[in-house]
Copies of this chain bind each other. A is one copy, B any other.
């Protein structure tokens, strides 16, 4: 596709079709720009279209040179051309594989633009799903990945053989720092490991620090009383530069873990926070279901973005709760969390959304002890308060790990018994 007139010498002055001199720099192309098999992202898309071949070519064009033909192609520009292959043609869907040159990609924003950008708008497509992608090791090395990883989190926890129990503190907004810290303390003493704010909680910077400090102090007391590590999870809601400041200040104030909703904040914000490497980060799923569609990206692709951009924990909606979840997709997230990926650390899977003592078992059956379990109303909304809520979760876990059915174990375990009654019709 290179214009013959230009193909000969990309580095010496050449003429474009208008007959004018087409100046070039005397610089030699950089080594990293040379097309190498190690610099291709193998990307698969599932599309619906009436013209599969033309569509595949257009997708590849839109994600590389962006043009059919000009007078200005050089050997160097051609090294950025993406190559499509049709893998599978079904009745209504077609699977296309595109090899996307990645030699210049070095950020989350760049990656999203390159494999999930303007292609969403292509007229020739009824829909396009980013089904999966495999970045080369060279690209993975330029992205942060989990900074602590499931292994780092386990070490910080002194490797207990049970899930990380996280209270989502409710009601979500309007509590004073002391009120907030009080509920946090209760749930932690009850048996929870981490207390986090709901993703909706917003507050001016000074209130954020005040609440964080009060909660960290409460966690320290709970730690002393129980002998278990207790963490406070921060969530900074602000404009990007101020979010970084809050994240750093929160880490300094003792928040041992952080949360972010990358689909709402933009995936690049995850990369930004991860690169500061202050504390482990949990990627929350707010807004993500709008992406998880046949015209969007698969849960698998989303989870892959989350891991390679720096999520130590990846939260997906829980089964039997208030949020949409599918076992198949949950298994995809689990696989992405744990699969070998160059030298990147693994991520820990988390589930949440309308959870309580009665819904723990089905997840433990799937994951074993290595996952994070989020309970908001199921802890704070316990009829006897957040301490009993925390206790009910631990009792539910004790029952599961001893293989005793909940219906049997609830006798003699009041917090569990009261939770199972209260939350039987919770949602």
Partner-B contacts on A (CB < 8 A): 16-18, 20, 22-25, 27, 33, 58, 62-74, 76-80, 104-110, 112-114, 116-118, 120-124, 168, 170-179, 181-183, 186, 198-200, 202-204, 237-244, 261-262, 264-269, 271-272, 275, 285-291, 293, 295-297, 317, 321-325, 353, 376-377, 380-381, 383-388, 426-427
Contacts and interface: CB of A to CB of B under 8 A. Distances in A.
A23 B200 CA distance: 23
Q: Chain A binding site: helix, strand, loop or mixed by DSSP?
A: loop
A174 B107 contact: no
Contacts of A177: 25
B18 A178 contact: no
26 contacts: A64-B172, A66-B170, A66-B172, A66-B200, A68-B426, A70-B386, A72-B175, A72-B386, A76-B174, A78-B174, A80-B172, A105-B202, A106-B202, A108-B239, A109-B264, A109-B265, A113-B261, A114-B200, A116-B287, A120-B287, A121-B286, A123-B325, A123-B427, A266-B267, A290-B295, A290-B296
Contact of A18 (B116, B121, B186): B186
A47 B69 CA distance: 44
A104 B72 contact: no
Nearest to A62: B322
Given A269-B266, A380-B72, A18 B288 contact: no
A388 B122 contact: no
